[in-house]
Structure 1
Amino acid sequence: MGIALQGQVALVTGASRGVGRGIALQLGEAGATVYITGRRPELSDNLGYGLPGLQEVAEEITAAGGQGIALYIDHSNMFEVQYLFDKINKDQDGRLDILVNNVFSSIGKVTDTFGKAFYEIDPSFWDTVNDVGLRNHYYCSVYAARIMVPRKTGMIVNIASLGGLRYAFNVAYGVGKDALVRMATDMAVELEKDNICVITLMPGPVRTEAIEIGVFGGTSKAESAEFTGKALARFAMDPGRMKKTGKALLTGDLAQKYGFGDRDGMEPQNIRSVKTMLETLGKPEIAKFIPNRVKVPKWMIWQTCNRL
């Protein structure tokens, strides 16, 4: 991608691994200065799998062509969150071009409750899931907007998931992911006049480190974290990105629009692809004749998600 984002300042929360790391690396490869946040090493839940630490990811960003800056932040502590933005504002002379709200601290607890009805789980589980994964995103967006508005430029991205479209794991998880979409849509209304683009980015199934290790069992057509990062970085470079403000964008659609593939040349699944739908329904003999570019309209996807 070259240095198309050289001179720009980005913040990716929760970037020590997974989608956050993939996004941060791609922004760095495009030349951006990328602040990344994560938990302190002694609080990490890498579970002995040998995953990179936050400082190592910062070094990877720098090696890729950008400048990686690691900051250990507890995103459940709003004093630390405010400190984070005060530091960026001071260090970068009032500049922040891209905020990526990605941090999520409870995937282990979410999967532990799989199969239980919401009333069978202690109601405090709501706070466990949506404190860092939702409330924090709002705080980060407020502080980021305060930096971006005076310069009349910027981009805020909420990383959601397909769990925001259809039931996944449990009620608290789904409501939190769906709320991220509405948050971005409403913020876009208020920030459009200031030329600040706000979107929700929805990856498909992702081959995060945990999946590749086998904790959740991988899927052969899942996208890599770097694929998600490419989608975001290419969108950030698009001079016409304001036309999409307020929208929820699928990584597969962006790959087709900007003409890029995954790191291994594989074309990941797209939930709008007729081919993917036929494969999911157990019709591979029909699916093999359908090109990936043949997709159903977005409104049809929303209809299947019990929307009005």
Structure 2
Amino acid sequence: MSGPSAKDAALEGRVALVAGATRGAGRGIAVELGAGGATVYVTGRTTRSRRSEYDRPETIEDTADLVTEAGGHGIAVPTDHLEPAQVRALVDRIADEQGRLDVLVNDIWGGENLFEWDTPLWEHDLDKGLRLLRLAVETHAITSHHALPLLLRRPGGLVVEVTDGTAEYNRDTYRVNFFYDLAKSSVLRMAFALAHELGPRGATALALTPGWLRSEIMLGHFGVREDNWRDALDKVPHFAISETPRYVGRAVAALAADPEVARFNGQSLSSGGLAPEYGFTDLDGSRPDAWRYLVEVQDAGKPADTTGYR
């Protein structure tokens, strides 16, 4: 299959919260959950009337509309996930309106403009580094704290902690700098810890990473659009392994529809690793396996060649 669609409605009647769905992976996940027929609450700080410090045009209302267009029901709720009262109000609203929560996706990040590449801890701006950790780690804890009692009302709930890098890759590789490395590894560990607490209570927690994501910010960084993204390969040849946000979205939708998803409890998974498991592809019909490519080709110093990797 290429991915879930409104026709099969595999997630009809299910309720999901995608925390951090303004753009990028969060948006891709929300849309694919909607394509499966789910009701999806999408949160973030940028709305059509107010922007976060990213100062970008994507909004949670846009994401909600895309969810509905895909076949689901998108509901946008402006939420700063560093504010416990706002998160509590969000979960109370879901409980009042739906009476259930089947899928929680913690995709909150917000640190794109806060980290400095290859800068040691003692030279890095401390305030920016600490805010990055709050945005990337504390937000997930706050959201889970308030959302999990609702998710546990019914057996079979799923928590997806979205990070950057598999547990194996991040264990062996220094990621960008101290703060970034710590943030992404912390989210992996969060999924592991939640698995121990949720598993005996009938729910599943896991960590999931996209590969080299062609998010709106990444495309802008390379000066390209989704329709001409290959133009960036002249400058960054390894970008050939990149994937759309919908690819990781299809991974989440497949996990959410899997009655045996508990077999992944506590594990670290990737979009590329799950594609052959569930039979989905990216929008172009390919199956990029970025983390295997990074180890075997890019990090090994070999010329860019995606043959056998997508």
> What is the rounded CA distance, in whole Å, between the counterparts of 1:124 and 1:147 in structure 2?
34
Cα distance, 1:47 vs. partner?
4.4
Which of 106, 109, 115 is equivalent to 2:111? 106
Judging changes above 3 Å, is the alpha-carbon distance between structure 1 residues 282 and 169 closer, same or farther for their aligned structure 2 residues?
closer
Unaligned runs of 5+ in 1: 294-308
Given that residues 82 and 142 in structure 2 are in contact (C-alpha distance below 8 angstroms), is that contact kept between their aligned partners in structure 1?
no
Moved more, 19-28 or 230-239: 230-239
**Identity level (%):** 33
Unaligned runs of 5+ in 2: 224-231
- Cα deviation, 1:238-259, whole Å, max 9, x if unaligned, reads 1111011010111111001111
Cα distance, 1:163 vs. partner?
8.1
Give, as a single letter, the amino acid of the residue that structure 1 aligns with 2:281: G
Name the structure, 1 or 2, with higher relative contact order (CA <8 Å, separation 6+): 2
SS of 1:11's equivalent? strand
Cα distance, 1:208 vs. partner?
0.5
Which of 60, 67, 71 is equivalent to 1:61? 67
Q: What is residue 147 of structure 1 aligned with on the other side? A: 150
Given that residues 279 and 287 in structure 1 are in contact (C-alpha distance below 8 angstroms), is that contact kept between their aligned partners in structure 2?
no
Which of 90, 97, 109 is equivalent to 2:102? 97
> What is the rounded CA distance, in whole Å, between the counterparts of 2:54 and 2:114 in structure 1?
14
Which of 76, 82, 86 is equivalent to 1:76? 82
Give, as a single letter, the amino acid of the residue that structure 1 aligns with 2:192: T
Q: What is residue 129 of structure 1 aligned with on the other side? A: 132
Given that residues 25 and 226 in structure 1 are in contact (C-alpha distance below 8 angstroms), is that contact kept between their aligned partners in structure 2?
yes
Moved more, 153-162 or 214-223: 214-223
Q: Name the TM-score, length of structure 1 as normaliser.
A: 0.85
Give, as a single letter, the amino acid of the residue that structure 2 aligns with 1:224: T
Give, as a single letter, the amino acid of the residue that structure 2 aligns with 1:235: L
Q: What is residue 299 of structure 1 aligned with on the other side? A: none
Which of 260, 266, 282 is equivalent to 1:246? 266
Give, as a single letter, the amino acid of the residue that structure 1 aligns with 2:280: F
Aligned pairs for 1:249-268 (under 5 A) are 249-268=269-288
State how many pairs are aligned. 285
Aligned pairs for 1:1-308 (under 5 A) are 1=4, 2-41=8-47, 42-45=50-53, 47=55, 51-93=57-99, 95-110=100-115, 113-162=116-165, 165=170, 166-215=173-222, 219-272=239-292, 277-278=296-297, 280-283=299-302, 288=307, 291-292=308-309
- Cα deviation, 1:98-120, whole Å, max 9, x if unaligned, reads 0000011121122xx22321111
RMSD: 2.3
Given that residues 30 and 67 in structure 2 are in contact (C-alpha distance below 8 angstroms), is that contact kept between their aligned partners in structure 1?
yes
- Cα deviation, 1:133-164, whole Å, max 9, x if unaligned, reads 11110121122221122323311110011286
